[in-house]
Amino acid sequence: MIIILKPSATEPQIDALKGEMSAEGLIIQEIQGETTRMIGLAGDTSMLAPEMIARHDFVERVMKVSEPYKLASRRLHPRDTVVELPCGARVGGGGLAVIAGPCSVESEDQILSIARDVKRSGAAFLRGGAFKPRSSPYSFQGLGLDGLSLLKMAREKTGLPIVTEIMSPKHCDVFTKDVDVIQIGARNMQNFPLLREVGGLGKPVLLKRGASCTIDEMLQAADYVLMEGCSQVILCERGIRTFETATRNTLDISAVPVLKKRSHLPVVVDPSHGTGHWDLVIPMAMAAVAAGSDGLMIEVHNHPERALCDGQQSITPFLFDGLMRKVTELHKIIAERNGE
Ligand code: PEP
Ligand code: MN
């Protein structure tokens, strides 16, 4: 629900109304529009009678938000959210943020070599899985806490902030301490207790779309994170499961403009998991940028043929360097066009 205030509304009147609403257990979001001031309410508003709120003489009108998600909705938050880290790295706000690195951290040599290469080519974040969600329990499961230590070492040597996936709430403390952006993977996008725990950690969160989830479901998952106090959520389109078998997933490029229209949160695209084939990564990265993505997540491996996970969709540092040149050029052209 959105309460649109009259310009004459005074601070004590607004505070009293906000107090009433939070006593009902609702989450309050102040919205400053171009000319109007509004109060957004998220939570169970079924007991509120809009006509009773509209009776206050400082209230212009009351609008119901029909979408099932509220805090992620652009209606409650018209301005774009920019996710900004203390080191200065940001996602959103007009730039193109590239998150690159191997599917999994495998060794000190591997992660340091890839981190240095992607940094040199212009990546803004280092990715690498330490806890891997593998379909088979017999596949490589990641190096766990040792993998996190190697990521920290790579951060120290390159200055790149690290993005890595959390699988269990039991790792919340160590992730809060050591990780810059906490990734929720596709398989956990609807693990609601995990979403809530991570939302309360005070860290930026990268939320990947579940392979069988709709955009509405993804934005509701984002609400679970946002309602715990986290305002720094990045949405990631990584392909969905369809009848098509030529690619690992079907990368839903249309999700980019749809998400940008419906939500204020920045959007990045992962063409590596989205296609499953290294030679499709560059064309689909270009498509994502053309569609308005705020960033990309790219799997890069120095020896894809020997990778312990997802080698077939990993590009080499040499190809990554070419990708960076192409997407940077394209992004510049698009930004200029949009500025016209
Ligand atoms: C990943 O990014 O390492 C990953 C496992 O991706 P997804 O959750 O999208 O499958
Ligand atoms: Mn992977």
What pLDDT does 100 receive? 99
Ligand 1 pocket test: pick from 183, 248, 250, 313 the residue with the most ligand atoms within 8 Å of its Cβ.
183
- Its domain, for residue 123, covers 83-337
Q: Of 63, 92, 111, which closes a domain? A: 63
Residues 233 and 132 in one domain: yes
Domain for residue 72, yes or no? no
Residues 265 and 121 in one domain: yes
CA distance 208 to 255: 12
Which DSSP helix (H) or strand (E) runs through 22?
A: helix 11-23
Domain for residue 74, yes or no? no
Domain for residue 77, yes or no? no
Q: Of 30, 63, 96, which closes a domain? A: 63
Domain for residue 323, yes or no? yes
10-residue mean pLDDT profile of the chain (340 residues): values are 93 94 91 83 89 93 90 93 97 98 98 98 98 96 98 98 98 98 98 97 98 98 95 98 98 98 98 98 98 98 98 98 98 88
Ligand found nearest the CA of 313: 2
**Domain count of the chain?**
2
Residues 279 and 220 in one domain: yes
CA distance 86 to 183: 18
Domain for residue 159, yes or no? yes
Structure tokens at 137: 């329990």
Residues 125 and 36 in one domain: no
- Residue of 38, 44, 122, 112 whose CA lies nearest to 74: 38
What pLDDT does 35 receive? 78
Residues 23 and 105 in one domain: no
Residues 170 and 25 in one domain: no
Residues 120 and 39 in one domain: no
Structure tokens at 51: 């006509």
Residues 40 and 118 in one domain: no
Specify the pTM.
0.94
Structure tokens at 37: 């001031």
Residues 105 and 245 in one domain: yes
Ligand 1 contacts CB of residue 229 (under 6 A): no
What pLDDT does 257 receive? 98
Domain for residue 78, yes or no? no
Residues 277 and 190 in one domain: yes
CA distance 150 to 162: 11
What pLDDT does 47 receive? 87
Q: Name residues with Cβ closer than 5 Å to ligand 2, which is an ion.
A: 103, 310
Residues 250 and 332 in one domain: yes
Residues 259 and 141 in one domain: yes
For ligand 1, atom 6, the nearest C-alpha belongs to 185
Ligand 1 contacts CB of residue 301 (under 6 A): no
What pLDDT does 229 receive? 92
Give the domain CATH number at 243. Answer: 3.20.20.70
Residue 273 Cα to ligand 2 middle (Å): 6
Number of C-alpha atoms within 13 angstroms, CB side, residue 298? 38
Structure tokens at 255: 């999700």
CA distance 43 to 258: 24
Structure tokens at 55: 């009776």
What pLDDT does 31 receive? 83
What pLDDT does 340 receive? 56
- Residue of 335, 243, 225 whose CA lies nearest to 289: 335
Give the domain CATH number at 53. Answer: 3.30.70.1140
Residue 104 Cα to ligand 2 middle (Å): 7
CA distance 281 to 97: 16
